[in-house]
Amino acid sequence: MCSSDLSGLDTLTRLFNRRFLPTVIQHETELSTKHESPFGILLFDIDHFKNVNDTHGHDAGDMVLRQFAEILAHNVRANDYIFRFGGEEFLVVLGDVVEDAAFSIAENARKIIADTTFNIGAGKSLDITTSVGIAIHDGHPDYNRTIKRSDEALYSAKHGGRNRSVVSPRSEVSKLSA
């Protein structure tokens, strides 16, 4: 394991990796409980990314991942946390956010990604889109529920045609406390 993995950074994108996620989300869960302010999870997945690797090679795919990460870093709030969550999945933890603001942040980033031409080397470029699942923490101490809800919303975005943002329905816990 390289030193970047141990430090919590993804070596390719220089974003946080999954190793650091529990620490950040536990902190956000505690802040949310203490200040009664929700936090949100945005789960981005690059649409048809396998095709990028299969058609243009893994070096091109790596270039897309780095550019995608840079776009996210410039289009979320300064106090938000961005993680490379999986191969072509990125997770953003939005502190102190309500559903409408989370959707707005997700849509802004999604539109910028769709409008950006990605350089893949040798003078070639690609147009890339992303699907986004959005979930607001419902107050339950198990933050994995929020991640699961964002993943379900992401699946809905993909199933609904891709290149879209979908908000997870509020859970029963939040409905009861609302």
CATH number of the domain located at residue range(s) 18-177 in this protein: 3.30.70.270
Catalytic annotation, residues: 88
* Tens digit of each residue's pLDDT, the chain (178 residues): 444 455 789 999 999 999 999 999 999 988 888 888 999 999 999 999 999 999 999 999 999 999 999 999 999 999 999 999 999 999 999 999 999 999 999 999 999 999 999 999 999 999 999 999 999 999 888 889 999 999 999 999 999 999 999 999 976 544 433 3
49-56 and 58-74 helices, crossing angle to 10°? 140
Cα radius of gyration rounded to whole Å, the chain: 16
Q: Where are the domains of the chain?
A: 18-177
- Which pLDDT does position 8 carry in this prediction? 84
User: What pTM, to 2 d.p., does this model score?
Assistant: 0.91
